[in-house]
Amino acid sequence: MLPEEFRRFGHEVVDWIAGYLQHPERYPVLPKVSPGDVIDALPPQGPENGEPMEQILADFQKLIVPAMTHWNHPGFMAYFANTSPGPGILGEMLAAALNGNGMLWKTSPAVTELEQVTLGWLRDWMGLPSDWFGMIHDTASTSTMHALIAAREAADPDVHSYGGWGTSKNLIVYTSEQSHSSVEKGAIAIGIGQENVRRIPVDAEFRMRPDALEQMLRRDCDESRHPMCVVATVGTTSTTSVDPVPAIADIAKRYGMWLHVDAAYAGSAMICPEFRWAFEGCDRADSLVVNPHKWLFTPMDLSVFYTRRPDVLRRAFSLVPEYLRTDDGSRAANMMDFGVPLGRRFRALKLWFIFRYYGREALADMIRKHVAWAQELAAMIDADPDFERSAPTPFSAVCFRYRGSDEQNALLLERVNASGEVFLSHTVLCGKTVLHLAIGNMATTRAHVMRAWELIRQHADFSS
């Protein structure tokens, strides 16, 4: 494609995006498609010869856009919402054009160093210790897997050489019943095994019980197993509960375990000093993950992994073949030494654009508003005799249910989501089906939250 042709279609695409961002409610949040619709609409064989860009863009609008779940829709309140704001898109455009690969410092100094700078800014904004090392991964699942590998390296360096088979230690990972499935998945992936992940019971507010953790640890130690890592969560996936990190940090220290904190969602709120209570004790963690692509208004994908022990991470992952050997001195970080992926695209660019365009205060203010609206909704739910809240609401996610059967709640969810105006998700708490409404998109306003509540109440009519 000649630069002039790129210019022409680039302008067209920018105009399309501007129109799309102008009317984020033009499309229903959840698309009206069935499994296989997109596959069936496309040819089974790829084209032998090129096609005009006009045709491709027309097909994009006709076939792809209507089959998207619109995460940009202000009514997207399922799971945790995300946002792709203008400065983030501009950053991704330039990152795609430069196409740098930061595997080594030498293969793109700016990719490596801007990552260090932006993650340093974020670390300070969140109040984490200033000597922590940060790196970008695609998702929190990958970040947590890296935390587990570092924890394993610290607990038993023999695994690096001889594998799980070669160790005399039955390594155990501890996390709460409410923690994200990525902890178990990571433990399976790295060869710790699902049965060696202890799901610690939670209290009435869905927080890990330190007494139960300690009890489990004692039993494991008595039976000659070896505690490797405890994963605490600040903002769990279902209810955004906050594990008691200070008490967990005490226990981790006593048992010589790695402490990893999953703050994928709520970590972003730490840029507001008033929510910093939730990070109490996190300065004593060995590693922590926060996802700017969740609640810090950054396009997918961008998960940040911090550790105060980069030496362990490096020991776990450094493996330099001759063809990748460089000698650029100690200030030149080679990011490939700290993780599994070798290639690294220029993700820090969008983060830099977003941090600078908005500044900390404006970003914090958006998060504050989301929390305030969630509190307001929580109060309205509490005041409605037909509904009940199912968990505390420390941040911007509200868990609640219609005072009825699980079937009625499932039907309610289906009806509300079918409206196309809003998309909620569900979870199960204390054995009951519960609706989960999380505010997190920059385009969401108080009115959208009120409208969601209106729809929920309207559809909660099971009389017929």
Stretch that binds a second copy, among 47-55, 209-217, 246-254, 373-381 (CB under 8 A): 47-55
When asked if residue 464 is in the footprint of a second copy (CB under 8 A), the reply is no
C-alpha atoms less than 13 angstroms from C-alpha of 393 in its C-beta half-sphere: 25
When asked if residue 365 is in the footprint of a second copy (CB under 8 A), the reply is no
Give 44-98 as a DSSP string: SS--SS---HHHHHHHIIIIIGGGS--TTSTTB-SSS-----HHHHHHHHHHHHH
CB of 242 to a second copy, least distance (A): 18
Residue among 13 and 450 whose Cβ is closer to a second copy: 13
Residue among 9 and 375 whose Cβ is closer to a second copy: 9
Distances (CA, A) of 270 to 38, 123, 316, 360: 40, 10, 29, 11
Q: What angle do CA 317, 318, 321 make, to 5 degrees?
A: 125
When asked if residue 380 is in the footprint of a second copy (CB under 8 A), the reply is no
Applying the rule CB under 8 A, the residues between 117 and 146 that interact with a second copy are: 117-118, 120-122, 124-125, 138-142, 145
CB of 429 to a second copy, least distance (A): 9
When asked if residue 189 is in the footprint of a second copy (CB under 8 A), the reply is yes
CB of 85 to a second copy, least distance (A): 6
Residue 287 CA to residue 245 CA, distance in Å, equals: 13
Question: Residue 352: which of 94, 82, 22 has the closest Cα?
Answer: 94
Residue 136 has φ and ψ, to the nearest 5°, of -95, 135
Per-residue contact track with a second copy, 410 to 449, x per CB under 8 A? ---------------xxxx-------x-------------
Stretch that binds a second copy, among 199-207, 213-221, 295-303, 305-313 (CB under 8 A): 295-303
- Options 77, 83, 287, 412; binder of a second copy; rule CB under 8 A: 83
When asked if residue 224 is in the footprint of a second copy (CB under 8 A), the reply is no
Stretch that binds a second copy, among 211-219, 281-289, 342-350, 454-462 (CB under 8 A): 342-350
Residue 97 CA to residue 432 CA, distance in Å, equals: 49
Residue among 249 and 423 whose Cβ is closer to a second copy: 423
If DSSP states are collapsed to H, E and C, what string results for 140-196? Answer: HHHHHHHHHHHHHHHHCCHHHHHCHHHCCCCEEEEEECCCCHHHHHHHHHCCCCHHH
Stretch that binds a second copy, among 74-82, 204-212, 255-263, 272-280 (CB under 8 A): 74-82
- Options 25, 86, 308, 368; binder of a second copy; rule CB under 8 A: 86
Residue among 299 and 310 whose Cβ is closer to a second copy: 299
Distances (CA, A) of 35 to 32, 39, 58, 416: 10, 8, 22, 21
- Options 28, 30, 313, 439; binder of a second copy; rule CB under 8 A: 30
Residue 11 contacts by C-beta under 8 Å, 6 or more apart in sequence? none
